[in-house]
Structure 1
Amino acid sequence: MIALGLEGSANKLGIGLIQHPPGYGRDPTIRAKILSNIRHTFVSPPGTGFLPKDTALHHREWAVKLIKQALKESGVSWRDVDCICYTRGPGMGAPLQSVAVVARMLSMLWNKPLVGVNHCVGHIEMGREITGAENPIVLYVSGGNTQVIAYAEQRYRIFGEALDIAVGNCLDRFARTLNISNDPAPGYNIEQLAKQGKTLLDLPYAVKGMDCSFSGILASIDSLAREHLNPNGTPKNTDPPPSDPPITPSDLCFSLQETLFSMLVETTERAMSHVNSSQVLIVGGVGCNLRLQEMMGIMARDRGGSVYGTDERFCIDNGIMIAHAGLCGFSVGEGVVQVEEAGVTQRFRTDEVWVRWRD
């Protein structure tokens, strides 16, 4: 079977086509075949975020172009497509609606069934498919979500999550404070600056059981930026004594990353201990961060375990993950919706999905 996937829950519009060969799901040696995976990102000016209405307009302008390009690259016709999968939620309302309109239009135009997909489950299933991880603890970290997840009894159970803002949102908002570019992504640019940081500053460490809080850390790092940096981002104290070097943007980014990622490693390790798992799968846009992968790898090795991650093609929002998860559900009749009922929701919990395609 072949599925077309449409993802547009935030500022990235992704279109992908995937094929599940005969025997897929029954024979573990048979892997899915990626036919095309195309993405276009709405990039806002430095110091700003992306507004829902502007992002929705971007998706409407690019959807047809990317669908045509994806079909051309895949080498298949729309007639070969068995179902159309779209992101039902969670995400930003206006961008989600734009993609849902496109999905309904294609369903009626091509007379193909529609499958609504949970964005978070899409990340998990794509990560499992690419890495081959069997039954890992999942750390799902992105601009809108932060969750520690484990699978049990055909549900992805949430062990812990962010109590306020997501870890990716915390990084993105500090990028605005520093007025750094959003191209290719604010979190990526913070990661590059953090590599040059040398001074680790004291920031709040807010782990509450299995949950994390990031808003206080953001307020604290913003305060330190105002204290140590000029409006143009240069250090205020450029002539300190040798024992007191100036605090730079790189130091702030380094301190923020180390604190945030330490919290995530702690809660993930606790979940591993609880379910006696030796595998960690990192998914979501922040999962591309090499420092997070390194810190998680150190923890996992100390426990005799391993870490699984993907590159930016699959950890950043993409259409292929929606196509893959949608096709998994379609094969067992899960998530199929009528065109007139194919809506979206900004609140679609990971543990609401009945994962019928897994034992």
Structure 2
Amino acid sequence: MNSVQYILGIESTAHTFGCGIASSEGRILSNVKSEYVPASGGIHPREASQHHASKAAATISGALKEAGLRLNDITAVAFSAGPGLGPCLRTGATVARALSLVRKCPLVPVNHCIAHIEIGRLATGEDDPLVVYVSGGNTIISAYAGGRYRVFGETLDIALGNCLDTFARHIGLSHPGVPKLEQLADEGQNFIPLPYVVKGQDVSYSGLLTMASRLAGE
């Protein structure tokens, strides 16, 4: 009897709908994604969720095909339960719940931030890391204590990823703007002092964004 289990994961926290399949042996068998690209500006949550709903079936089928499996082989379904964009999260949760009901298998909600942290921990081999977690919607200083991950510091206003994305749109860079912004920064020669705020273990980026936007307009 085959003792290997196969877990299908759904990711839908923001602009990408993804489906990955991993084995209980720790092998990543597939990772198929479909990205929503807005016509202009940043991510529109309702449009992104509609994209996810329309691409879910094809993405899941592609992941199963890439893994060489059928839906009947799946023994558990996991999904990103947040944080993320509400409409996008609901779409992913609905798809995951439907799959678990069809398969009559466990449904496993996964915290998006903890998943990123655990991937970093496993990739580096660190047992007890102090983590600086930076994304579009979160900027957190975290560590594992008392049986769970605890937040010891965080942004007081906007996340660093959001700060960079907003500035990229302000200067006219198309989505995704942050990689283009990083390329421009690598090629830049002028270093401009900008304000940033640290209060204890918390940080603030709204002042930095305001000053950068003002200087860009001069």
Cα distance in 2, alignment partners of residues 153 and 77 from structure 1: 40
Q: Give 1:38's aligned amino acid.
A: V
Question: Among 118, 130, 145, which residue is 1:152 paired with?
Answer: 145
The answer on 1:133 being equivalent to 2:96 is no
Equivalent in the alignment of 1:63: 56
Secondary structure of the corresponding residue to residue 121 of structure 1: helix
Equivalent in the alignment of 1:5: 9
The answer on 1:213 being equivalent to 2:207 is no
Comparing both structures, which one devotes a greater share of its residues to strand?
2
Question: How far off is 1:129 after superposition?
Answer: 2.3
Structure 1 stretches of 4+ with a deviation exceeding 4 A read none
Q: Give 1:41's aligned amino acid.
A: E
Residue by residue over 1:239-268, the C-alpha shift from the partner in whole angstroms, topping out at 9 and shown as x without a partner, is: xxxxxxxxxxxxxxxxxxxxxxxxxxxxxx
TM-aligned CA distance change 1:130 to 1:36, over 3 Å: farther
Cα distance in 2, alignment partners of residues 129 and 67 from structure 1: 26
Cα distance in 1, alignment partners of residues 84 and 8 from structure 2: 20
Percent sequence identity over aligned pairs: 46
Q: Is the 8 A contact 1:45 1:181 kept in 2?
A: no
Equivalent in the alignment of 2:184: 193
Equivalent in the alignment of 1:17: 21
Superposition CA RMSD, Å:
1.2
Secondary structure of the corresponding residue to residue 135 of structure 1: coil
Cα distance in 1, alignment partners of residues 48 and 9 from structure 2: 19
Question: How far off is 1:174 after superposition?
Answer: 0.6
Cα distance in 1, alignment partners of residues 36 and 212 from structure 2: 27
Cα distance in 2, alignment partners of residues 3 and 221 from structure 1: 44
Question: How far off is 1:168 after superposition?
Answer: 0.3
Cα distance in 1, alignment partners of residues 39 and 180 from structure 2: 14
Residue by residue over 1:144-194, the C-alpha shift from the partner in whole angstroms, topping out at 9 and shown as x without a partner, is: 011111112321121111111100000100110111121xx3211111110
Q: Give 1:6's aligned amino acid.
A: I
Q: Give 2:7's aligned amino acid.
A: A
Cα distance in 2, alignment partners of residues 226 and 128 from structure 1: 41
TM-aligned CA distance change 1:55 to 1:37, over 3 Å: same
Q: What is the total number of aligned residue pairs between the two structures? A: 214
Cα distance in 1, alignment partners of residues 146 and 22 from structure 2: 27
Q: Give 2:174's aligned amino acid.
A: S
Question: How far off is 1:203 after superposition?
Answer: 1.1
What pairs up with 1:7-46 in 2 under 5 angstroms? Answer: 7-21=11-25, 32-46=26-40
> Whose Rg is larger?
1
Secondary structure of the corresponding residue to residue 80 of structure 2: strand
Cα distance in 2, alignment partners of residues 129 and 159 from structure 1: 22
Secondary structure of the corresponding residue to residue 187 of structure 2: coil
Q: Is the 8 A contact 1:88 1:117 kept in 2?
A: yes
Question: How far off is 1:54 after superposition?
Answer: 0.5
Q: Is the 8 A contact 2:74 2:103 kept in 1?
A: no
What pairs up with 1:72-151 in 2 under 5 angstroms? Answer: 72-151=65-144
Runs of 5+ consecutive residues of structure 2 not aligned to the other structure: none
Question: How far off is 1:20 after superposition?
Answer: 2.0
Q: Give 1:95's aligned amino acid.
A: C
What pairs up with 1:234-249 in 2 under 5 angstroms? Answer: none
Cα distance in 2, alignment partners of residues 18 and 128 from structure 1: 18
Question: Among 160, 172, 180, which residue is 2:173 paired with?
Answer: 180
* TM-score, with structure 1 as normaliser: 0.58
Runs of 5+ consecutive residues of structure 1 not aligned to the other structure: 22-31, 228-359
Cα distance in 1, alignment partners of residues 67 and 123 from structure 2: 18
